[in-house]
Amino acid sequence: MSAPRPTVLKYSGHEHLRTRLAMSLLSGKPLRVDNIRPDDKNPGLRDYEASLLRLLEKLSNGTVIEISYTGTAFLLKPGVLNGGRVEHDCATSRAVGYYLEPILMLAPFCKKPLELTLRGVTSDALDLSVDTIRTVSLPHLQLFGVSDGLEFKIKKRGAPPLGGGEVQLFCPVVKQVTSLNFVDPGRIKRIRGIAHAVRVSPQFSSRMIDAARGLLNRYVPDLYLYSDVYKGDESGKSPGYGLTLLAESTTGALYGAEALSEPGLPPEDVAQNAARALLSDVRAGGCIDRAHQSMVLVLMVLGSEDIARARMGPLSPRAIQTLRDIRDFWGTSFKVVPVDGDDGDGQLLLSCFGVGFLNSNRTLA
């Protein structure tokens, strides 16, 4: 009770909730969010948001969450990030990617290495699929020196609406993340892909692979798309299929794209959408995958007291909001300048001075 009460950061609305929750837990600043769908027919927090809050409660020690009677406002007093073995059944209205995105920012700063088991939907149209998390998100985390023992396992797949999938995330703890300095996007040297099909004919995978190959073959010979087969109990409760693609450059920049089955959409079209989305991302350029801009920005700020630099393609609306929120939490502004030169069309160079965030939770061993 002797410490001065930290100022509560106030936000309005449910958008950008997850990055704010993560930043609150990292910075130790209480977070208050009001006006959560006040005019909706069904006001207040959704089941998946409540589920995420419960997961964050499990992950930490001493976190207090007070939700208002109507559910349209809550106050989060962050505790200590604990980590360790955590299991959680996610609400199936959102895929596990929804829950994992904020967790990935928090996991390296826990007290104990995280062994997280999540059950629910593994890929849906709204959130990053587990394949993208494994092949794109984790390498982005490795850019910051979080690598030894970082692992992601897809035990079971689960398509919406019923889910039934299970994934495990193992994340080591670090004392401090390294400063990022990534300004050379390089050229694409290889393309990889993972096609999955659960509770439908396994031929769907190969049909997607053939279609994607038809479009991508012209660019690089190092093109390897494989079919990830899950059978029986491991394939969840609902049918579904999808294709995740990633392009890797000579300097290690990654671009990911994915497309999932929709009712009435043949596998060829799913594959074509994924391949075209990948090409759009490649053209946008930069060193960071568009969906991971926010995560990278947050980790850049947390880096050691040094200049962190990253080249990015056109910023997503999320990333812009994250930049604003970072200033609220840590008072750090990024320097954002367009990249000079002919090949840098629309790309930006973002740099900031890290706050030198030290993981004070970490057990000394």
Which residues of this chain interact with other proteins, rule CB under 8 A? 14-18, 37, 39-41, 49, 97-98, 101, 125-128, 187-189, 215, 218-221, 250, 258-259, 273, 276-277, 279-280, 282-283, 285, 290-291, 294, 314-321, 323-324, 327, 333-338, 342-343, 345-346, 348
Amino acid at 58: K
User: How far is the C-alpha of 114 from the C-alpha of 107, rounded, in Å?
Assistant: 6
| β pairing state of 307-312 and 181-182 | parallel
User: How far is the C-alpha of 63 from the C-alpha of 8, rounded, in Å?
Assistant: 14
| Smallest separation (angstroms) from other proteins to the CB of 5 | 27
Burial of 14 (0-12, 13-18, 19+ CB in 10 A): middle
| Smallest separation (angstroms) from other proteins to the CB of 255 | 10
Residue (of 38, 30, 37) closest to 10 by Cα position: 30
CB-nearer residue toward other proteins: 107 or 315: 315
204 contacts 241 by C-beta, under 8 angstroms: yes
Residue 180 DSSP code: P
CB-nearer residue toward other proteins: 172 or 313: 313
Residue 229 DSSP code: -
Residue 179 DSSP code: P
Angle at CA 148, nearest 5°, toward 147 and 152? Answer: 70
| Smallest separation (angstroms) from other proteins to the CB of 357 | 21
CB-nearer residue toward other proteins: 174 or 274: 274
| Smallest separation (angstroms) from other proteins to the CB of 355 | 17
132 contacts 88 by C-beta, under 8 angstroms: no
| Smallest separation (angstroms) from other proteins to the CB of 364 | 35
Show the tokens assigned to 258. Answer: 């994915």
| Smallest separation (angstroms) from other proteins to the CB of 231 | 27
CB-nearer residue toward other proteins: 13 or 62: 13
| Smallest separation (angstroms) from other proteins to the CB of 205 | 20
CB-nearer residue toward other proteins: 235 or 294: 294
CB-nearer residue toward other proteins: 122 or 176: 122
* Per-position DSSP letters for 260-281, written without gaps between them: E--TT--HHHHHHHHHHHHHHH
| Smallest separation (angstroms) from other proteins to the CB of 161 | 16
CB-nearer residue toward other proteins: 113 or 240: 240
CB-nearer residue toward other proteins: 40 or 306: 40
| β pairing state of 240-249 and 254-260 | antiparallel
| β pairing state of 60-61 and 80-81 | antiparallel
Residue 98 DSSP code: H
